[in-house]
Amino acid sequence: MDQWTSIYNAGVSSVSRATLGNQIFAALFKLAPDTEALFSRVGVSDMSSGAFRAHASRVLSGLDMGINSLKETATLDSLTSHMAAQHIARPGVKGVHFDVMGKVLMTALPTLIEGFNPDAWGNCLRPLKSAIAKGLP
């Protein structure tokens, strides 16, 4: 959690979080171009727009809450159930998209975190990814 906190709170500004979020989404769209269309309602056509940067910030906030709830099972279950319901309601979102986002994070995070431990991060991200993708086609 300390490693995540070091990058999530770097600069402690919505600007840096939105920038980090945009970098992650740019990597997602490069790896899986078909996913870009899933974000049309949040202004993906202009990733520098306030709408898209706000979405990127919300995604990072959700990731932050998930990471910081890993040791609190009831909180984590409630949080991931809510996120799962949000994604089930979005046409076209599939469980495989969360696998791709996991790959993006496991590629991006080592460039941001000194002493990155892929096993620890895999153990951290896997339960979040599985719980949120549960119920998706």
Annotated binding residue at 97?
no
- pTM of the prediction? 0.87
Range of 113's domain?
2-133
Which residues lie closer than 8 Å to 52 by C-beta, 6 or more apart? 22, 25, 39, 42, 43, 44, 46
Total of domains in the chain: 1
Quick one: pLDDT at residue 109? 87
Tens of pLDDT, residue by residue over 30-80, are 999 999 999 999 999 999 999 999 999 899 999 999 999 999 999 999 999
Q: Any idea what the CATH number is for the domain that residue 67 is in?
A: 1.10.490.10
| Angle, CA 62 vertex, CA 18 and CA 7 arms, to 5° | 50
| DSSP H helical ranges for the chain | 2-8, 14-31, 50-68, 73-88, 95-112, 118-133
